[in-house]
Chain A
């Protein structure tokens, strides 16, 4: 799995000498050209598009190049709640995914070491959701949370939700969906670091009269930091840009729209390309900033 490598912090010893670097260049060139053409250039297009202005007396969707920096102010003013929701929901989902995944990853990676077969089976089950369509599993939760289901009826009988209330279309269901969909992304990197955790450190902790809780916070958590960092990033980044869970046909409603939803609506529905581009640039900038600070502060810079 890719995530196995994603979780590793220290590269294995392979200090090959600096030999025949033209071979490396030849090997890299096709891939680099592809990335330049279809990854870097689109960013330039995105920035250029975000500064465009409508063609005078033109049709909807007709724009010309300009330097209209106000586009950014306009979208921030119009869509700041969507940004807040996107980062708030993503943060909540990352937190819940971490809390749910950590014990699971700990069990698979540390406790189940003695039984490789059970370990393999459990890992397969963790990635099993990847094998079923992302959209369909989200729709499955929508059906399970719909008003007629016994679960919702029971919650209403217990007055946990009001009689005319719904589970779907709320912040709860969107965060729930995001959490569910990204749990595997959290569990796998956690597993890869915990799997290599030397349990003698834990014994040392208890030998030094640390209680289980102290040992956990002072030994296990710091040692699994690389997994926590990659897991939280692999959850937070896609969750903040996601718009499936928050969309009204899935788990959300008009009140739960995230920034991804408005990028989609502006680009594909309203054909307001500059607004969609400006929103994308802001989203990307915020994420790069957050990721940069986070990775630096947690001291694991060698992610790839």
Chain B
């Protein structure tokens, strides 16, 4: 097969180098979580497990981490619930305003975060709503919503309608068909959307910055610390989150691979 090839080895070697480039800051963050530094964490001092064992020694860090988890969970529940319903409607029903709704969902993704953040902040200011947990959660659920719809919609579209028809043929009520057939089949898509939404919320800085008021999330804490040097404890949390996320992705991929194998056997 003669396809476009830049020599046999050039492309694979390049790809590996590109991936290594992507991983450099991750490796750096991980390595410097073991740095025996006092305040700022730029110079390598020596190896220690101390920061991993006493993460919460950095003032406010663990509270900020807890806030991020809490905000992420609530925003994810809101965005996933609203988004799943919208995705089902968009993928299953034809209606006149369909393309207008699609456009409305696309626009938040096409809006720079700084504009979304400033817009919400201007609205809260005009309405006299004090900034805090509620405003952060409202903002996060907003930008997660579109991503949930896109993810779940893809899943609904790939669903074989014959399965639901079979349920109706067997005298299943609409509710039974939904909860026994549609929902379980959609579940992987919904879980993927929820994970994506939590990840987006957890790492968001720009929109949060405009709407947080006195509340500190993990990224806000880092930003505040960045002016005088971020301590190694922040690297510990980031590294732990990274490892956890990696495990989740690997588990998700192996289970979906196993399911595909099982399905292939059935056919």
Q: Which of B45-53, B54-62, B179-187, B237-245 contacts A (4 or more CB under 8 A)?
A: B237-245
Residues of B within 8 A of A303 (CB): 106
Q: Is A152 an interface residue (CB 8 A)?
A: no
Residues of B within 8 A of A287 (CB): 110-112
Residues of B within 8 A of A190 (CB): none
Contact A146 B25 (CB under 8 A): no
Contact A133 B86 (CB under 8 A): no
Bound state CA distance, A129 and B153, in angstroms? Answer: 25
Q: Which of A1-37 contact B (CB under 8 A)?
A: 1-2, 4-6, 8, 11-12, 14-21, 23-25, 27-28, 30-32, 34-35
Knowing that A31-B149, A122-B15, A135-B223 are A-B contacts, what are 8 other residue pairs whose CB atoms are under 8 Å apart, sorted by A's residue number?
A14-B92, A49-B125, A103-B11, A107-B15, A124-B253, A132-B239, A133-B241, A237-B111
Bound state CA distance, A220 and B6, in angstroms? Answer: 14
User: Known contacts being A34-B82, A202-B4, is A139 close to B226, with CB within 8 Å?
Assistant: yes
Contact with B along A220-233 (1 / 0, CB 8 A): 10000000000001
B183 to chain A, nearest CB (A): 14
Bound state CA distance, A212 and B29, in angstroms? Answer: 41
10 A-B pairs with C-beta separation under 8 A: A5-B150, A5-B151, A34-B82, A35-B142, A35-B145, A38-B142, A132-B242, A138-B25, A140-B32, A237-B110
User: Which of A21, A122, A199, A203 has a CB less than 8 Å from the CB of B19?
Assistant: A122
Contact B85 A31 (CB under 8 A): yes
Contact with B along A113-133 (1 / 0, CB 8 A): 000100010101111111111
Nearest B residue to A144 via CB reads: B28
Contact A31 B119 (CB under 8 A): no
Bound state CA distance, A285 and B15, in angstroms? Answer: 37
Q: Is A79 an interface residue (CB 8 A)?
A: no
User: In the complex, which of the residues A202, A216, A267 has the most CB atoms of chain B within 10 Å of its own CB atom?
Assistant: A267
Q: Is A72 an interface residue (CB 8 A)?
A: no
Give the top 6 A-B pairs by smallest Cβ distance, nearest first: A241-B112, A42-B119, A140-B25, A24-B93, A27-B89, A131-B245
Contact A134 B203 (CB under 8 A): yes
Q: Is A45 an interface residue (CB 8 A)?
A: yes
User: Which of B147, B234, B246 has a CB less than 8 Å from the CB of A131?
Assistant: B246
Bound state CA distance, A43 and B157, in angstroms? Answer: 32
Contact A202 B3 (CB under 8 A): yes
Contact A16 B2 (CB under 8 A): no
Contact A28 B85 (CB under 8 A): yes
Q: Is A304 an interface residue (CB 8 A)?
A: yes
User: Known contacts being A25-B95, A104-B19, A216-B4, is A263 close to B118, with CB within 8 Å?
Assistant: yes
Contact A104 B12 (CB under 8 A): no
Bound state CA distance, A46 and B35, in angstroms? Answer: 45
Chain B positions near chain A (C-beta within 8 angstroms)? 1-6, 11-12, 14-15, 18-19, 21-26, 28-29, 32, 42-43, 78, 81-83, 85-86, 88-95, 101-108, 110-116, 118-123, 125-126, 138-139, 141-142, 145, 147, 149-151, 153-154, 157-158, 161, 192-193, 196, 199, 203, 205-206, 209-210, 218-219, 222-223, 226-227, 230, 234-235, 238-239, 241-242, 245-246, 249-250, 253, 257
Contact A46 B114 (CB under 8 A): no
Q: Which of A226-270 contact B (CB under 8 A)?
A: 233, 237-238, 240-244, 249-250, 259-260, 263-264, 267-268
Residues of A within 8 A of B149 (CB): 31
Contact A140 B19 (CB under 8 A): no
User: In the complex, which of the residues B1, B21, B118, B245 has the most CB atoms of chain A within 10 Å of its own CB atom?
Assistant: B118
Nearest A residue to B118 via CB reads: A280
Contact B123 A238 (CB under 8 A): no
Bound state CA distance, A130 and B82, in angstroms? Answer: 24
Bound state CA distance, A276 and B107, in angstroms? Answer: 20
Q: Is A163 an interface residue (CB 8 A)?
A: no
Q: Is A273 an interface residue (CB 8 A)?
A: yes
Q: Is A80 an interface residue (CB 8 A)?
A: no
Contact B22 A126 (CB under 8 A): yes
